């Protein structure tokens, strides 16, 4: 998916001679851009060549492994056209001491949080970024944890498996070897008593600064108030926090604060072997485990080449499971959007009832209700047990269509729902693309972009289904589009259950050590929350050198402030509900 | 817009659900709860009415593939002695994503060479993520995932690092909770043994 | 939870107000039955386990059968804190504060491997390896995540624990406030105020961190 049409390839390198060069490293297929010309190149790409959708921004720490190698940070950009097609991969390199890269946020506002994340975890400074603060860790945290030479308090060895488990066999709880008995470390000479935390100052400064652009609402002599929603709040879908600056009841600025569930997915992912990461992806967006499995499997299979091509039956099983996941995730999202609207629990109860029946199928097939860990490189872990395929068939032909219609009848024309949702949290199509929105958020704003159609993967080309689009870009359309997508997913599963061929469910023998050649790959699928991508860099060893997740929930939050400005506090909760975030994915 | 009509339509749906519970209970008089058929019906495609499974009096049937905490298999010898299937090869410890398995290997006291049997086997269930890799990749079918999920305890410090004694379960138990898998693995093993025996017989025949 | 000393033990210091009252143990049973069927959990989800907790509260498993359907968003009105998921260092000060705000008698359940001992994310730099390092935990429910039925089993364990308690006859002087747990501070790493001395000693000659003994 990283190849480009030859004609464009010529134009890009020809247009910027000496500035843009093809990446010659083995297994890499992108372009390397000169650091100081990045903004210029990006401008041309966006305005002239149509690469208007910046999907992913991330950093890689290429720390020298041998004497003669060079150490540097690389920032990698994945750009797409919103009309469809494959990726254009750009990379810029910056030295490891005083790393600085020009920010692309002015061109692509969707880069804002991703650049802040790269700053937080790698310490790369993005010049001209409007709001350069830490995002996942707190202000004052010591060090940049994703750097390869940074070690956490419970550091045991560079890579798994640890020799201590086998053949060592030295059992202990690691906290027993820490002086404070906890997962903590402190720098030399640190004095806890003289430490004065100023963790929130940067946040409130940023909130007030952001308000400077919106101060035209001040026609009365009032004082603006800061209100914090969360992290412990029943309507934030987990441990999410919003700092809101209000003028009366009207919101004038809003800053999401995250990291309350930052569980170091990527740092652990780089220590894991390729296979180890599969069950960890379950815990990203824990409502849609099977979609996450899918994305990661695609990324690694791309690196593996011919060895990683799944069998025909495996592809069908994957599609069936991924679409059932989409149905269950959207049911959950609809139920909890209604919860946020104040219809406490009855709609959720009805939605959860159907979800439970789907979870029964997941449990029977994969072994667990939520943490499925079902995909393997080149297929799936096991075939459907006896009778499960029939149960899926019965559900998608008999029960689910009826139940979705019932949900539709129950909620769609409810006047309260309409009054609360219509015209709230509006995003125009252009804004949706600018902010790198994905999934139902993008399509509810009138952009018919669905990875299953725009950049097909697996066997989606063989199925007959429509890309659902709605045009108002408000909360109500985001609710409707989820209903539409459930119906389309039911169509896909109906076709797949009918046509599923016999055969093996896995290519090869399912070895416990996977050989992955060196190179980079970006596997992306259309998850229920949006485009979920996995950027994997392998150096030919048993562990990924870099493992990054393009998390749709996280990036969809970039536009939260935009959607909420000018509305009331009660609407913020509804808008957040319509974005449908899962904190495991936001914070990773 | 007929204001209020949409709300009424929605309320009709909830009313339908409400009445449905009585209709359903009436249809099943007395058999809907605390019977296996009742539980199966409540999780089938025709489920309507009350959806609740009355845990702990009735429990949802656990599917065969369900996995919770791993356990070790032993075969019972003729005199009731336990023979571990585990050979302490360490694949489960290597493939464990959160690295929660510790294996202490045995050494022959005379020769000092490793014996294929673990002295100790620990699993920290406060780290275990129930992924099932150990069971999936064990070449000797010596470690499997248990169905037992009622494990809540008052103290984790003494109870939550499982040792070999606590982890060991007989093969019969495994055959009971996962009959299909057990049969499949046994078939493969018997086929292999027969193949070996046939080869040995052929070799013996060739010698003569 | 620290055990309240039994009233009937020798040398127990009975306060003057209590001396006027007569302690009747059967009242404990009635009192406990009331408490066991009205344990109000806090509506407080952290991670994956929270989804299973919501499932347990929903139609199929129905916490209402145990009198626990009243999920309170405010700690002031709740009896039980279900720590449902990975506790991160960034979230920890809030969790301890919420615990301090809960009225006595209060119970804490560590749901899932993460809350009990760090779980699969234990090695992470932002993960607390067990919420019991900071607040007392009554019941641990293993599993990743525990199924709703496993959670219900854990809740029944809480009920069993309530049955054995003697809050009515064991008189605690309620004029004195309960000592709150010191709230950890976000520094270069999370700082527990109870560890000040250890930290000051530990950082004298070098950074304080874990030292793992070498493999034999």
Domain boundary among A127, A145, A166: A127
Contact between A20 and A12 (Cβ < 8 Å): yes
State chain C's mean pLDDT as an integer.
83
For residue C159, is it within any domain? Answer: yes
Residue C85: list chain A partners with CB under 8 A: 261
Query: Nearest CA of chain B to the CA of C34: how many Å?
Result: 20
The pLDDT value given to residue C15? 63
Two tokens at A183?
A: 């997962």
Record: contact C94-A231, CB cut-off 8 A: yes
Helix (H) or strand (E) holding C60: none
- Select from A154, A193, A231 the Cβ nearest to the Cβ of C123: A154
For residue C194, is it within any domain? Answer: no
State the pLDDT confidence band at C151, using cuts at 50, 70 and 90: very high
User: Is A230 within 8 Å of chain C by CB?
Assistant: no
User: Is C70 within 8 Å of chain A by CB?
Assistant: no
Q: Enter the ipTM.
A: 0.91
Lowest mean pLDDT among A49-53, A452-456, B1-5, B51-55: B1-5
- Select from A272, A364, A417 the Cβ nearest to the Cβ of B63: A364
For residue A72, is it within any domain? Answer: yes
Distance between the two ends of chain C, CA-based, in angstroms? 39
Query: Among A473, A480, A482, A477, which residue's Cα sits nearest to residue A431?
Result: A473
**Res. A215: pLDDT tops 60:** no
Residue B70: list chain A partners with CB under 8 A: none
A244-270, pLDDT tens digit by residue?
Answer: 988 888 888 889 998 899 999 999 999
For residue A416, is it within any domain? Answer: yes
User: Is C197 within 8 Å of chain A by CB?
Assistant: no
**Res. C23: pLDDT tops 60:** no
CATH code, C31: 3.40.50.12280
* Chain C interface test: which of A146, A181, A239 (most C C-beta within 10 Å): A239
Distance CA B96, CA B207 (A): 46
DSSP A5-22: -HHHHHHHHHHSTTTEEE
**Res. B58: pLDDT tops 50:** yes
> By residue range, what is the domain housing residue C61?
16-163
Give yes or no: residues B91 and B45 share one domain.
no
Domain boundary among A64, A95, A127: A127
Tell me the helices (H) and strands (E) count for chain B, helix number first: 7, 7
The pLDDT value given to residue A2? 44
Per the structure, the count of domains in chain A is 2
Record: contact B65-A166, CB cut-off 8 A: no
Residue C52: list chain A partners with CB under 8 A: 369-370
A289-337, pLDDT tens digit by residue?
Answer: 999 999 999 999 999 888 888 999 999 999 999 999 999 999 999 999 9
Lowest mean pLDDT among A7-21, A45-59, C48-62: A7-21
Residue A160: list chain B partners with CB under 8 A: 97, 99
Contact between C176 and C41 (Cβ < 8 Å): no
**Res. A172: pLDDT tops 60:** yes
Distance CA B165, CA B156 (A): 17
Helix (H) or strand (E) holding A59: strand A53-62
The pLDDT value given to residue A327? 94
Helix (H) or strand (E) holding A575: helix A569-579
A538-552, pLDDT tens digit by residue?
Answer: 988 889 999 999 999
Tell me which residues of chain C, numbers 135 to 174, contact chain A at a CB-CB cutoff of 8 Å. 144-145, 147
For residue C174, is it within any domain? Answer: no
Query: Nearest CA of chain C to the CA of B41: how many Å?
Result: 13
Residue C70: list chain A partners with CB under 8 A: none
The pLDDT value given to residue C96? 93
Distance CA A493, CA C35 (A): 48
CATH code, A447: 1.10.645.10
Record: contact A186-C188, CB cut-off 8 A: yes
The pLDDT value given to residue A6? 44
The pLDDT value given to residue A406? 92
Between β-strands A20-22 and A31-33, what pairing exists: parallel, antiparallel or unpaired? antiparallel
- Select from C61, C110, C120 the Cβ nearest to the Cβ of B127: C120
Record: contact B154-C140, CB cut-off 8 A: yes
Between β-strands A88-95 and A31-33, what pairing exists: parallel, antiparallel or unpaired? parallel
Distance between the two ends of chain A, CA-based, in angstroms? 25
**Res. B66: pLDDT tops 80:** yes
State the pLDDT confidence band at A1, using cuts at 50, 70 and 90: very low
For B148, phi and psi rounded to 5 degrees?
-70, 120
A349-375, pLDDT tens digit by residue?
Answer: 999 999 999 999 999 999 999 999 999
**Res. A5: pLDDT tops 50:** no
Record: contact C198-A195, CB cut-off 8 A: no
State the pLDDT confidence band at C168, using cuts at 50, 70 and 90: low
Domain boundary among A85, A104, A127: A127
> Which residues does residue B84 pair with via DSSP β-bridges, in sequence order?
B74
> By residue range, what is the domain housing residue A112?
6-127
**CB-side neighbour CA atoms (13 Å) of C68:** 25
Lowest mean pLDDT among A121-125, A232-236, A492-496, C103-107: A232-236
For residue A186, is it within any domain? Answer: no
Tell me which residues of chain B, numbers 38 to 97, contact chain C at a CB-CB cutoff of 8 Å. 51-56, 59-60, 68-69, 97
For residue A356, is it within any domain? Answer: yes
State the pLDDT confidence band at A77, using cuts at 50, 70 and 90: very high
More confident residue, C157 or A219: C157
A433-486, pLDDT tens digit by residue?
Answer: 999 999 999 999 999 999 999 889 889 999 999 999 999 989 999 999 999 999
Mean pLDDT, residues C147-174 taken together? 82
Sequence-distant (6+) residues with CB within 8 A of B149 are: B62, B68, C143, C146, C147, C149, C150, C153
Query: Nearest CA of chain C to the CA of B114: how many Å?
Result: 16
The pLDDT value given to residue C17? 59
Between β-strands A519-527 and B114-124, what pairing exists: parallel, antiparallel or unpaired? unpaired
State the pLDDT confidence band at A24, using cuts at 50, 70 and 90: confident
Record: contact A353-B97, CB cut-off 8 A: no
Give yes or no: residues B171 and B97 share one domain.
yes
DSSP A412-467: TT-HHHHHHHTTSS---HHHHHHTT--THHHHHTT----HHHHS--TTGGGS----
For residue A190, is it within any domain? Answer: no
The pLDDT value given to residue A7? 44
State chain A's mean pLDDT as an integer.
88
**Res. C8: pLDDT tops 60:** no
Neighbours of C, requiring at least 3 CB pairs below 8 Å, are A, B
**Res. A211: pLDDT tops 80:** no
Q: How many C-beta atoms lie closer than 10 Å to residue B198's C-beta?
A: 10
Q: How many C-beta atoms lie closer than 10 Å to residue A309's C-beta?
A: 15
**Res. A3: pLDDT tops 50:** no
Q: How many C-beta atoms lie closer than 10 Å to residue A204's C-beta?
A: 14
Helix (H, G, I), strand (E, B) or coil at A64: coil
Give yes or no: residues B38 and B87 share one domain.
no
CATH code, B156: 3.30.70.3270
A107-164, pLDDT tens digit by residue?
Answer: 999 999 999 999 999 999 998 888 888 899 988 888 899 998 888 888 888 888 888 8
Record: contact B150-C150, CB cut-off 8 A: yes
- Name the residue of chain C whose CA is nearest to A289's CA: C48
> Which residues does residue A88 pair with via DSSP β-bridges, in sequence order?
A79
DSSP A494-551: HHHHHHPPPS-SBSS---SS----SEEEEEEEEETTEEEEEEEEE-SSSSEEEEEEE-
The pLDDT value given to residue B1? 54
Record: contact C143-B151, CB cut-off 8 A: yes
For residue B77, is it within any domain? Answer: yes
The pLDDT value given to residue A306? 83
**Res. C202: pLDDT tops 90:** no
**Res. A398: pLDDT tops 80:** yes
Sequence-distant (6+) residues with CB within 8 A of A261 are: A238, A239, A583, A584, A586, A587, C46, C47, C85, C86, C88, C91
State chain B's mean pLDDT as an integer.
88
Record: contact A409-B10, CB cut-off 8 A: yes
- Alpha helices by DSSP H, listed for chain C, are 16-19, 25-36, 48-57, 92-101, 112-117, 148-163, 196-202
State the pLDDT confidence band at C18, using cuts at 50, 70 and 90: low
Per the structure, the count of domains in chain C is 1
Per the structure, the count of domains in chain B is 2
Neighbours of A, requiring at least 3 CB pairs below 8 Å, are B, C
Distance CA A236, CA A576 (A): 7
Distance between the two ends of chain B, CA-based, in angstroms? 98
Give yes or no: residues B78 and B39 share one domain.
no
B15-24, pLDDT tens digit by residue?
Answer: 999 999 999 8
The pLDDT value given to residue C171? 60
Q: At what angle do helices C148-163 and C25-36 cross, to 10 degrees?
A: 160
The pLDDT value given to residue A485? 93
Domain boundary among B38, B61, B84: B61
- Select from C198, C204, C212 the Cβ nearest to the Cβ of A156: C212
> Which residues does residue A91 pair with via DSSP β-bridges, in sequence order?
A32, A76
- Select from A171, A398, A410 the Cβ nearest to the Cβ of B161: A171
Give yes or no: residues B56 and B109 share one domain.
no
> Considering all CA atoms of chain A, what is the largest pairwise distance in Å, rounded to the nearest integer?
74
The pLDDT value given to residue A330? 94
CA-based radius of gyration for chain C: 20
Residue B63: list chain A partners with CB under 8 A: 360, 363-364, 367, 385
> By residue range, what is the domain housing residue B138?
70-177
- Name the residue of chain A whose CA is nearest to C127's CA: A263
Residue B9 to residues A405, A504, B13, B79: CA-CA distances in angstroms?
A: 13, 49, 7, 71
More confident residue, A9 or B68: B68
Residue B98: list chain C partners with CB under 8 A: 119-123
Q: Buried (b) or exposed (e) across A142-158, using 16+ Cβ within 10 A?
A: ebbbbbbebbbbbbbee
């Amino acid at each position: 998916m990283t190849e480009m049409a030859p004609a464009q390839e010529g134009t890009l390198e020809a247009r910027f001679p000496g500035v843009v060069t093809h990446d010659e490293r083995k297994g890499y297929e992108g372009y390397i851009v000169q650091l100081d010309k990045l903004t210029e190149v990006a401008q041309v790409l966006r305005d002239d060549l149509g690469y208007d959708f910046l999907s992913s921004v991330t950093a890689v720490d290429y720390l020298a492994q041998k004497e003669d190698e060079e150490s540097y940070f690389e920032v990698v950009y994945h750009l797409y056209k919103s009309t469809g097609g494959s990726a254009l991969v750009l990379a810029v390199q910056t030295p490891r001491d005083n790393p600085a890269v020009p920010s692309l946020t002015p061109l692509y506002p969707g880069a804002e949080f991703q650049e802040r994340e790269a700053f937080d975890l790698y310490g790369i400074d993005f010049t001209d970024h409007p709001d350069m603060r830490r995002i996942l860790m707190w202000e004052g945290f010591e060090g940049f944890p994703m750097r390869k030479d940074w070690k956490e308090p419970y550091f045991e060895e560079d890579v798994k498996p640890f020799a201590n488990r086998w053949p060592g066999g030295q059992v202990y709880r690691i906290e027993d070897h820490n002086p404070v008995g906890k997962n903590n470390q402190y720098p030399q000479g640190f004095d806890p008593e003289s430490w004065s935390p100023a963790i929130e100052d940067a946040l409130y400064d940023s909130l007030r600064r952001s308000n400077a652009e919106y101060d035209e609402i001040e026609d009365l002599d009032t004082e603006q108030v800061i209100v914090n929603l969360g992290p412990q709040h029943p309507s934030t879908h987990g441990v999410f926090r919003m700092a809101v600056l209000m003028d009366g009841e009207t919101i004038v600025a809003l800053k999401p604060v995250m990291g309350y569930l930052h569980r170091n997915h990527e740092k652990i992912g780089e220590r894991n072997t390729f296979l180890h990461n599969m069950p960890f992806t379950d815990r990203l967006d824990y409502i849609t485990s099977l979609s996450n499995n899918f994305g990661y499997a695609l990324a690694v299979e791309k690196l593996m080449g011919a060895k990683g091509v799944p069998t025909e039956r495996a592809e069908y099983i994957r599609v069936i499971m991924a679409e059932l996941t989409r149905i269950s995730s959207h049911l959950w999202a609809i139920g909890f959007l209604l919860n946020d609207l104040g219809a406490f629990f009855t709609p959720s109860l009805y939605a959860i009832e159907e979800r439970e029946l789907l979870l029964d199928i997941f449990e029977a097939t994969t072994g667990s209700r939520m943490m499925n860990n079902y995909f393997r490189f080149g297929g799936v872990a096991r075939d459907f047990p006896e009778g499960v395929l029939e149960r899926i068939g019965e559900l998608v032909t008999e029960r689910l269509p009826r139940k979705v219609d019932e949900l539709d009848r129950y909620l769609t024309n409810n006047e309260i729902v309409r009054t609360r949702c219509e015209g709230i949290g509006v995003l125009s199509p252009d804004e949706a693309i600018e902010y790198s929105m994905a999934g139902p958020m993008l399509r509810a704003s009138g952009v018919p972009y669905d990875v299953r159609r725009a950049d097909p993967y697996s066997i989606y080309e063989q199925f007959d289904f429509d890309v659902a689009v709605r045009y108002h870009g408000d909360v109500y359309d985001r609710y409707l589009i989820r209903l539409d997508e459930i119906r389309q997913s039911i169509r896909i599963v109906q076709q797949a259950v009918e046509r599923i061929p016999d055969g093996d469910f896995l290519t090869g023998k399912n070895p416990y050590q996977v050989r992955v050649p060196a190179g980079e790959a970006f596997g992306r699928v259309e998850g229920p929350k949006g485009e979920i991508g996995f950027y994997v860099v392998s150096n030919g060893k048993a562990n990924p050198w870099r493992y990054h997740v393009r998390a749709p929930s996280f990036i969809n939050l970039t536009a939260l402030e935009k959607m909420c400005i000018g509305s009331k506090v009660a609407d913020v909760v509804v808008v957040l509900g319509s974005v449908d975030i899962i904190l495991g994915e936001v914070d990773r | 817009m007929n204001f209020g009509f949409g709300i009424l339509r929605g309320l009709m749906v909830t009313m339908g659900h409400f009445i449905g519970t009585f209709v359903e209970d009436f249809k099943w008089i007395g058999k809907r709860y605390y019977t296996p058929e009742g539980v199966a019906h409540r999780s089938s495609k025709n489920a309507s009415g009350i959806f609740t499974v009355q845990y702990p009096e009735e429990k949802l049937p656990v599917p065969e593939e369900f996995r919770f905490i791993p356990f070790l298999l032993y075969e019972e010898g003729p005199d009731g002695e336990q023979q571990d299937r585990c050979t302490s090869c360490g694949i489960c410890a290597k493939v464990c994503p959160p690295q929660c398995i510790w294996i202490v290997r045995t050494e022959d006291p005379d020769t000092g060479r490793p014996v294929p049997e673990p002295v100790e086997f620990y699993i920290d269930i406060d780290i275990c993520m129930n992924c099932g890799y150990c069971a999936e990749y064990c070449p000797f079918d010596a470690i499997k995932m248990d169905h037992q999920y009622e494990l809540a305890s008052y103290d984790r410090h003494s109870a939550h690092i499982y040792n070999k004694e606590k982890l060991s379960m007989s093969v019969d138990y495994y055959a009971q909770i996962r009959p299909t898998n057990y049969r499949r693995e046994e078939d493969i093993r018997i086929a292999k043994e027969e193949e070996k025996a046939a080869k040995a017989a052929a070799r013996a025949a060739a010698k003569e | 939870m620290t055990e309240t000393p039994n009233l009937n033990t020798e040398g127990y210091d009975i306060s003057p107000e209590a001396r006027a009252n007569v302690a009747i143990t059967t009242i404990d049973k009635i009192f406990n039955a009331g408490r066991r069927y009205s344990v109000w959990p806090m509506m407080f989800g952290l991670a994956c386990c929270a989804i299973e907790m919501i499932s347990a509260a929903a139609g199929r498993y129905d916490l209402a059968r145990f009198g626990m359907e009243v999920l309170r968003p405010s700690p002031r009105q709740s009896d039980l804190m279900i720590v449902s998921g990975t506790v991160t260092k960034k979230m920890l000060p809030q969790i301890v504060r919420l615990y301090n705000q809960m009225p006595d008698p209060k119970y804490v359940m560590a749901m899932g491997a993460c809350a009990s001992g760090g779980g699969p994310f234990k090695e992470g730099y932002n993960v607390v390896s067990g919420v019991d390092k900071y607040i007392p935990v009554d019941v641990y429910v293993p599993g990743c995540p525990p199924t709703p039925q496993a959670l219900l089993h854990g809740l029944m364990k809480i009920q069993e624990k309530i049955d054995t308690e003697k809050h009515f006859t064991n008189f605690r002087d309620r004029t004195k406030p309960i000592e709150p747990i010191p709230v950890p501070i976000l520094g270069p790493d999370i700082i527990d105020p109870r560890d000040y001395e250890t930290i000051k000693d530990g950082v004298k000659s070098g950074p304080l961190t874990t030292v793992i003994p070498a493999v034999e």
